[in-house]
Amino acid sequence: MHTGAKRFLFAAIFVAAFVSYFSAQFNRYYLGIAIDVGINIILAVSLNLINGHTGQFSLGHAGFMAVGGYTAASITLALSQKFPAAATPVLFTGALLAGGLTAALAGLAVGVPTLRLRGDYLAIVTLGFGEIIRVIFENMDCVGAASGLKGIPNYTNFFWAWSLAAVTVFVITCLVNSTYGRGFIAVHDDEVAASAMGINPTKYKVTAFVVGAFFAGIAGGLYAHHKQFLSPTGFDFMKSIDIVVMVILGGMGRTTGVIIAAILLTLLPEFLRGFAEYRMIIYALLIIVLMIARPQGLFSFGKK
């Protein structure tokens, strides 16, 4: 892993660029789904750092995503006319970064006061945070309030979604698979023992929240420029649950499993499009069956 990590990153970005180059020849519907998959991988892998590796059960990931999405979309909406077409990648990069950083700030704002809370209490607080964010956007007229933000330029393509997914996987894997990163898992396993070994649990928890929120914000920006429309209801509690389900289904703290689960759970509703209203029932059934059959996660084999 140590030396291969950077090579993996460059290879993945290269493949994403290669596929993207030929994307005009693909069916637009499938291409759209492929981009959805990339965005969901970012969301699931970043939530996995908070929920899986560090063991801080957060239900507010859609909130961070909304912060990033609205920030990035507002920036491109304000500036896209003033920028020459050739410079859009620069604009988009800047907008995504701004979205990620604003979301990271939100992560810091949520992380610091809630660190004393554990388990269920933390879950409830982050749930409340997600709802607050949604209600704020619902009432902000400058971003379209409840009717949503329309006319966002279509910047997200296969390359952006998948190379940023690769960056997310790279950053979080490298972070966790280092001596430094063992601290996240130590905090997850036993906070008291971790602090007795010189690990500052507070610092690790805040780091997890900030890094996780940053990538959720990036994913939000990609989502905004993919759907070209943002509505507060798209970032409700169910969206957070969707991401949590990916993490649980993949196996808490197992990056590979979480990636596979993100892919499966994005494709599944598309396969079930004929009876979409049963999607949540199938979701629920899947979780029930999984929790009984494989409580450690569907794709968790081998060691962490």
Interaction between residue 201 and other proteins (CB under 8 A):
yes
* Structural contact between residues 204 and 187, judged by C-beta atoms closer than 8 angstroms: yes
Q: Map residue 229 onto helix, strand or coil.
A: strand
Question: Given the complex with other proteins, which of 188 and 227 has the nearer CB atom?
Answer: 188
CA 183 to CA 200: how far, in whole Å? 9
Q: Which single residue is written with the structure tokens 């499938």?
A: 30
Residue 294 contacts other proteins per CB under 8 A: no
Q: Per CB under 8 A, does 12 bind other proteins? A: no
- Does position 207 interact with other proteins (CB under 8 A)? The reply is yes
The residue count of the chain comes to 304
Q: Is 116 in the site for other proteins (CB under 8 A)?
A: no
Q: Which stretch binds other proteins (CB under 8 A): 59-67, 153-161, 186-194, 222-230?
A: 186-194
* Contacting range for other proteins; rule: CB under 8 A; set: 2-10, 27-35, 109-117, 120-128: 2-10
Task: Determine how many CB atoms are found less than 10 A away from the CB of residue 23.
Answer: 14
Distance CA(94)–CA(75), nearest Å, equals: 9
196 binds other proteins, rule: CB under 8 A: yes
Segment interacting with other proteins (CB under 8 A) among 131-139, 155-163, 181-189, 265-273: 181-189
Q: Which is nearer to other proteins, 23 or 182 (CB)?
A: 182
d(CA 287, CA 226): 29
User: Which residue stretch of 38-46, 62-70, 99-107, 192-200 sits at the interface with other proteins (rule: CB under 8 A)?
Assistant: 192-200
Interface positions, 240-269, toward other proteins (CB under 8 A): 253
Could you say which of 193, 276, 284, 289 contacts other proteins (CB under 8 A)?
A: 193
Residues 185-224, buried b or exposed e (16+ Cβ, 10 A)?
bbbbeebeebeeeebebeebbbbbbbbbbbbbbbbbbbbb
CB of 189 to other proteins, least distance (A): 4
Which residues are 229's β-sheet partners?
A: 150
The tokens describing 249, both together, are 């289904």
Amino acid at 148: G
Q: Residue 140 or residue 174: which is nearer to other proteins going by CB?
A: 174
Residues interacting with other proteins, by CB under 8 A?
Answer: 2-3, 5-6, 171, 174-175, 178-183, 185-186, 188-190, 192-201, 207, 253, 303-304
